[in-house]
Amino acid sequence: MVADALVVARDQCELHRGVEARFVDAHTGVALEHVTEQAPLDLTANRNGLRIHPAGASPIVQTRDQRHLQVRSDPAGEADFPARVLLARAIIAADPPSGPRNLRALYVEGDNDERAAVSRTLGLVDDPTYTRVAQEACRSNVKPVFEAIACDNPFPARHFGERPFCQMVLKTFLFGTRLSRVEGLRERTTAELFRMARDFADDLRATGRHVPDDVGELLALEGAA
Amino acid sequence: MRTTSTLFDPHVHMSSRTTDDYEAMARAGIRAVLEPSSSGGQPRTNAGSFVDHFASLVGWERFRASQFGIRHHCALGLSPREANDESLARDVLDLLPRFLVKEGVVAVGMIGFEERTSAEEDAFVRQLDIAQRARLPVLVHTPRADKKRAVERTLAILREMTFAPEMAVIDGCSEETAEQVLDAGHWAGFSKLGYAPMAALALHFGKTRVLIGSAADWSPSDPLTVSKTADEMRRIGFAPKDVLAFMWQNPIAFFAQSGRIAADHFEHVETVDRPAASGVRPLPPFGASP
């Protein structure tokens, strides 16, 4: 929705020369109206992380006309997440061939918020060369990191092979994540996925455990197919 | 029946503890913890191990704590034991600043002396410098053996570096060393001295710049130390507001010097939903899979 070009100060990182980064809010939940003139935050994007610090330090992410990109400093930190996604996209745009390596470096050394932002960003780049880092995020036991790739994100349905996709769907049951949040699920259902869901349900029933409603929801698609 | 209150354990190695401990701590009123980096009992031998250790403290452990409604913070650093491997120390100190900017990091530590070697001193001085640049407070370890000398040298180094005294807590204080530490303007940290002795020390030294922690780790230790010490303090006559000062306001005041936490950050501590902790589990416990 906002297509401001970004220039990141050269002294912070050589990755970010003349970056063109378009902010798409479809998957971030927070619109860029949160970018205001008040309470500047220091946005730092480099290969060490996606940082947002409280007001005080000088912002280093700037619009091309050298206006500082300022993000609302709200106590809930609602603007932090989209800002990080924006920065991750800037890193990709700065050096597309190195994008997968740079994003993976961000992921590996990232805290939970950064890892979730990297995962969310992948949904916006739609490029299979990022599959490795996407699958790593899928293996995370940190629920918000897992959900950032598995939920409301088109990347897995578009680029995961059958096995990783099935594993991801089964993992939503383990986390209690709603199946309806998996994008492109209907298009990716296979006999193998239904078999895995049935086996999972049978195993739970065999030990007297509750079968999550979402398992039934998935199996209902089999009849519909 | 224990009186529950609001407690902050300013020194506890949660990575070495079980979810049963988290559950018991939450029930006892512990709402926030600080986990410093440590050798984990088994010193690490390569820098990559530190990348994973630090990433775990700002990632997995933080999430694990959140499942029990406990805010997890950490201090990152190279422990004195590991500092004696000089080539390892160089590599770790190079990567440390990258991690100090992460969510949940509010201090540098544990740093300081174990055997008082020159390699330990070098790593200590360098990490004090890193902390100053990052504007973070430090958690300083003191050894059990030859403690008095180690504390004297520690205080001398902090003085020589003109390190802001209030930005350093000297942990593992005894009655004798606490005197010097507080006189120098630092914070004194008590841990692993027993509940009654720590309550008595609290009475003796008062609440100015004193932290009481469990230092619970992989060795025999008690993650409910702050709760039991609070009980003992109440038993010997501390008013509830004074217990709160020692066990909640003081840790927040010390770590708030990082500029990254403040008392009002704790108003909404959310509990992330997690598998049932007892009885028939609806699902296998998460994180149990390889």
Residues 6+ apart with CB under 8 A from B263: B249, B252, B256
Residues B113 and B120: beta-carbon distance below 8 Å: yes
pLDDT at position A60 is: 34
pLDDT at position B269 is: 54
Residue in the structure block whose two tokens are 């100060």: A9
Residue contacts between A and B (CB atoms, under 8 Å):
63
A187, two tokens: 């298009």
Q: Which residues of A142-180 are buried (b: 16+ CB within 10 A; e: fewer)?
A: bbbbbbbbbbbbebbbbbbeeebbbebbbbbbbbebebe
Chain A positions touching B71 (Cβ under 8 A) are: none
Whether residue B16 is predicted with pLDDT greater than 90 in this model: the reply is yes
Asked which of A47-61, A136-150, B52-66 is least confident by mean pLDDT, the reply is A47-61
Fill in the amino acid letter for A8. Answer: V
A39, two tokens: 């309470």
How many Cα atoms sit within 13 Å of B59 on the Cβ side? 24
pLDDT at position B4 is: 54
Instruction: Using CB atoms, pick whichever of A109, A141, A142 lies closest to residue B98.
Output: A109
Instruction: Give the distance from residue A143's alpha carbon to the nearest chain B alpha carbon, in angstroms.
Output: 8
Question: Cβ of A172 under 8 Å from any chain B Cβ?
Answer: no
Rounded-to-10 torsion of CA B96, B50, B143, B181: 30
Q: What is the pLDDT of residues B127-145, one digit of tens each?
A: 999 999 999 999 999 999 9
First to last CA, chain A: 37
| Model confidence, pTM | 0.83
Whether residue B2 is predicted with pLDDT greater than 60 in this model: the reply is no
Give the separation between CA A33 and CA A2, rounded to whole angstroms: 9
Mean local confidence (pLDDT), B140-155: 96
Strand boundaries in B68-136, DSSP class E? 71-76, 105-112
Whether residue A81 is predicted with pLDDT greater than 90 in this model: the reply is no
pLDDT at position A74 is: 37
Largest CA distance in chain B: 59
H/E run at residue B52: helix B47-58
8 Å CB contact of B259 and A54: yes
Query: If pLDDT is split at 50, 70 and 90, which confidence band does A51 have?
Result: low
ipTM of the complex: 0.86
pLDDT at position B39 is: 86
Fill in the amino acid letter for A127. Answer: D
CATH architecture of B7-257: Alpha-Beta Barrel (3.20)
More confident call, B187 vs A58? B187
Q: What is the pLDDT of residues A108-121, one digit of tens each?
A: 888 888 888 889 88
Tell me, what DSSP letter sits at residue B263?
G
Instruction: Give the distance from residue A142's alpha carbon to the nearest chain B alpha carbon, in angstroms.
Output: 6
- Taking CA atoms, A83 is separated from A32, A45, A72, A174, B258, in Å, by 9, 10, 10, 30, 23
Query: If pLDDT is split at 50, 70 and 90, which confidence band does B267 have?
Result: low
Whether residue A27 is predicted with pLDDT greater than 60 in this model: the reply is no
8 Å CB contact of A112 and B99: no
- Taking CA atoms, A59 is separated from A42, A44, A86, in Å, by 4, 8, 15
Chain A positions touching B57 (Cβ under 8 A) are: none
8 Å CB contact of B103 and A54: no
Describe the strand order of the beta sheet including B187-191 as a list of residue ranges. B7-9, B30-36, B71-76, B105-112, B138-141, B168-170, B187-191, B210-213
- DSSP helix/strand/coil, B168: strand
Q: What is the pLDDT of residues B57-73, one digit of tens each?
A: 999 999 999 999 999 99
Chain B positions touching A143 (Cβ under 8 A) are: 63, 272
Instruction: Using CB atoms, pick whichever of B103, B282, B286 lies closest to residue A141.
Output: B286
Instruction: Using CB atoms, pick whichever of A75, A111, A141 lies closest to residue B104.
Output: A111
8 Å CB contact of A109 and B55: yes
8 Å CB contact of A111 and B287: no
Question: Cβ of A214 under 8 Å from any chain B Cβ?
Answer: no
H/E run at residue B211: strand B210-213
Q: What is the pLDDT of residues B198-240, one digit of tens each?
A: 999 999 999 999 999 999 999 999 999 999 999 999 999 999 9
Question: Cβ of A212 under 8 Å from any chain B Cβ?
Answer: yes
8 Å CB contact of B55 and A108: yes
Mean local confidence (pLDDT), A207-224: 93
Range 8-37 of A in CB contact (< 8 A) with B: none
More confident call, A172 vs B267? A172
pLDDT at position B231 is: 97
